[in-house]
Amino acid sequence: METILIIEDDKNINDMLSQLLSNNNYKVLSAFSGTEGILIHNEQVNLILLDLMLPGKNGEEIIEDLKQKYNVPVIVMSAISNIDKKLDLFNLGADDYITKPFNNKELIARIKVHLKNGKHSKSTVIKYKDIELNTSDFSVICNNKNVVLTKNEFELLKVLMTNPEQVFTKSNLFDLVWGNEDSADDNTLNVHISRIRNKLKECNPKVEYIETVWSIGYKMKK
């Protein structure tokens, strides 16, 4: 059973999340301040739900401390919807961001994706055809050649390679890479996919790696 640490000072929200996660077969640890969260965080924790507005050290201040202790996915929960604030959190090490009030089913879906990706990341290197993507040093090799990707290009390719049989809708990819549908549009996604394709094609022009599933989204090509 996977363990999720909730760091949330509002007891009602903490209790609600604990019940929700227990009902979905997760083991739950609860903390009500940043300092307590760091103390409780241990090698058994698989994912952290982190509120930003905490007494003492706030969520922004403890992300790095949590990551340095045990590097597991951190999903930030906050009513703040400012895109610059979200980008700052990703730069600090947050893996995802969900705006309060959130839909419970969406939260569970995001948790499942990060836990699934986390299982793959223990091996740090994800392989598909002649691509090797290293999640530890953010490097990509295709056909024995280095591929230089931007952060979002890397994250897009990682999502697709981690689940190569799955068709990802544009909405899925917006959420997983940009954290919010409003922060990207179809054109932004299409441009990123096109750039990834072009960079991979430079390494191996004989192979197509990413398939467009018309009117739905993208997947890795068999």
pLDDT tens profile 95-153: 898 988 889 999 999 999 888 876 544 446 788 999 999 877 789 999 999 999 998 89
- The residues spanned by each domain of the chain are 3-119, 125-220
pLDDT tens profile 153-210: 999 999 899 878 889 988 888 878 887 545 567 788 999 999 999 999 999 999 999 9
Distance CA 174, CA 108 (A): 17
Structural class in CATH, domain 125-220:
mainly alpha
Q: Does domain 3-119 have CATH number 3.40.630.40?
A: no
Distance CA 81, CA 168 (A): 24
Distance CA 196, CA 218 (A): 12
Least Cα distance to 62 among 88, 33, 87, 86 occurs for 33
Cα dist. 201→99, 185, 210 in Å? 38, 24, 11
pTM value is 0.55
Q: Which helix (H) or strand (E) holds 90?
A: helix 83-92
Distance CA 208, CA 61 (A): 43
Q: Is 133 left (phi over 0), alpha (psi -120 to 50) or beta?
A: beta
